[in-house]
Chain A
Amino acid sequence: MRKLRLATVWLDGCSGCHMSVLDLDAAIIPILRKVDIVYGPLVDAQEFPEDVDVTLVEGAVSSQADADNIQKIRQRTKTLVSLGDCAVTGNVAAMRNTVPVSKLLQRIYVEGSDSNKRLPGDGLPQLLKLARPAQDYVKVDYSVPGCPPQSKVISALLSGLVEGRKTETASKIKFG
């Protein structure tokens, strides 16, 4: 049987949702027999590949680079999963939305600096005005809330997707 091609991406989030995937502990071993991780923070692939079966997206879309990436990811992915509250609603990533970007950067790099007070920017992705959930940019197939989602929910979802059936996660999920 062809292995499921899984990608995981990490936009504006804290990595907690990725940790919840690893919190499957040794139960991840049988899953890895049926799944190839083709892209993500745990592997060395450099370019988001074509023909990905499932992509788990952690974090909100917060910078221009995120906005560009989520489009490319959507085009190359069959089933897109928003993993965790930041990807689903914006959550903590969106707490900055009440503050203008210029004021945010000014506070950190000018007022909050003792030396070389100035805004960075040389070759860095620009922050968008608002951090927003993935579904504001692209079609999302599954939304799995939680901060982070519980690993048993992630496990149920992945097992279902490996077997090619539509998975019901709503009864197991919780926000926060």
Chain B
Amino acid sequence: MKRITIEPVSRIEGHAKITIQLDDAGNVSDTRFQVTRVRGFEKFTEGRPFYEMPGITSRICGICPISHQLASSKACDAIMAVRIPKAAKLLREVVHCGQFVQSHALSFFYLSGPDLLLGMNADPETRNVAGLIEAKPELARAGIELRKFGLQVIESLAEERVHPSWIVPGGVKTPLQVVTRDHLLSGIPEAIETTMRALSLFKGKLDSFREEIENFGSAPTMYAGLVDRKGNLQLYDGELRFCDASGEVVQAGIPADDYAEFIGEATLTESYLKAPYYKPLGHPEGIYRVGPLGRINVSEACGTTLADAELQEFRQRFGRVPHSAFLYHYARLIEVLYALERMKVLLSEPEVLDTHVRATASVNAPEGVGIIEAPRGTLIHHYKVDENGAIVWVNLIVATGHNNYAIGKSVRQVTEHFVKGTHLEEGMLNRVSAVVRAYDPCLSCSTHALGAPAVSVSLLGPDGTLLDELRN
């Protein structure tokens, strides 16, 4: 028996480790995907006033702090039992769209772009964002500008890019100014153009990734995500829906408060990241996936023109419910388009400029649940408080967590296909890391933790002797 370790997995948002076990004939006998950090937000927030939760839980993740602030504030809205002003709801969704743009641009251009645009076998020394800037300066700059636009949406409303304190229980702190709205609207066309360019570049490369598309986590699973009343894509509000591997809706219209009837969490001995499952089927049969691919698989349509045209083409190419994790990249780009179009719709609503943007109340309910679609998938914050509003119990189910078990299975599939016996090549191990990157996991979020880089691989004999070693 031989063992290969990839630790830490590079160009992902978090601390993870992959171990590959080979039998004597050099075939893969086992693989493990481990998340190696835990931070304990669910425990150490006990005793804090509930209204501090958006600020504290924002620090779970510096990439999608807005997601945590939104889910947290929605849980707090429920504890206060208020219906937030229309303008506040619109503005929360606007910054959420900004976040989708910046987070997805980070994944595509900074983290996975080097694999997709320079190649899986490119020199590991330059297979990174600096190498991409060197090789394709104009495209890289456009990607940087796209991420910047998403962040400017956040910054111009919330004043800061990372961990702002503008989203609050009951709404938002300050209203939108006309000049800000017009400035944001004027930036949307260029951002759309960059996204269309990235999409057409990516589609042009699909043929060269045929082997990855076939073998990157293509095992069928269920999917989950929020949808609106028509069953279309919804990021900020909506009802939770599960569909099976063929796309058949198995449970629709789940309100936030009822999530625990349908989602269970299993502890995995080898990982700090728990694995959620669809309760009616149990663990591990109830495996499901969330995030860009999960969302477009459960949704009937996006509901905006350009994104729907792309979605239609996507479905013509791969069918109504494709399973390959490689297609997360494709779905992510379609969602950027949706977020930009949706932002335009929201900013064009007359009520978006209303100055009443915050409802106030104290504790009116002993518990509250907030659910949103974060860039990486469904995010759930559930709090219980005492009569003074001090937190007594917290449960957080974070986007990447839902995909935990599926990522592990995808790693197994990619390893079996690409990693050959006793001779290691850097490119084949990069593919093992690349399938993890396809999910764009946010392991800082998921373990309420965070991480580091790199691939270190050694092939050990049954007695622990070093058979082969790979360094990049």
Contact = CB atoms under 8 A, between A and B. Distances in A.
Interface of A: 9-10, 12-20, 22-23, 25-26, 28-29, 32, 36-37, 39-47, 59, 62-63, 65, 91-93, 95-96, 98-99, 103-105, 107-110, 112-125, 127, 147-148
A49 B163 CA distance: 32
Contacts of B130: 32, 36-37, 42-43
B40 A96 contact: yes
A77 B6 CA distance: 24
Which secondary structure characterizes the binding site on chain B? Answer: loop
A62 B133 CA distance: 35
A54 to B, nearest CB: 15
B37 interface: yes
B104 interface: no
B286 to A, nearest CB: 10
B147 A22 contact: yes
Contacts of B34: 123-124
Contacts, number: 211
A32 B271 CA distance: 36
Contacts of A121: 269
Q: Which 7 A-B pairs have the closest CB atoms?
A: A16-B62, A114-B264, A115-B266, A46-B456, A46-B454, A92-B59, A15-B62
Interface in B21-48: 32, 34, 36-40, 42-45
A22 to B, nearest CB: 7
Nearest to A110: B267
Interface residues of B, number: 73
Contacts of B67: none
Interface in B109-154: 110-111, 124-125, 127-130, 133, 137, 141, 144-145, 147-148, 151
Given A112-B395, A116-B269, A19 B161 contact: yes
Nearest to A107: B43
Interface string B165-183: 0000000000000000000
Contacts of B444: 13-15
Given A96-B39, A115-B266, A44 B62 contact: no
Contacts of B268: 116, 120
A149 to B, nearest CB: 10
B62 A46 contact: no
Contact of A13 (B144, B265, B271, B450): B450
A148 B270 contact: no
Nearest to A148: B162
Interface in B441-461: 444, 449-457
**Residue among A17, A36, A108 with the most chain B CB within 10 A?**
A108
B224 to A, nearest CB: 16
B39 A116 contact: no
B356 interface: no
Contacts of A119: 267
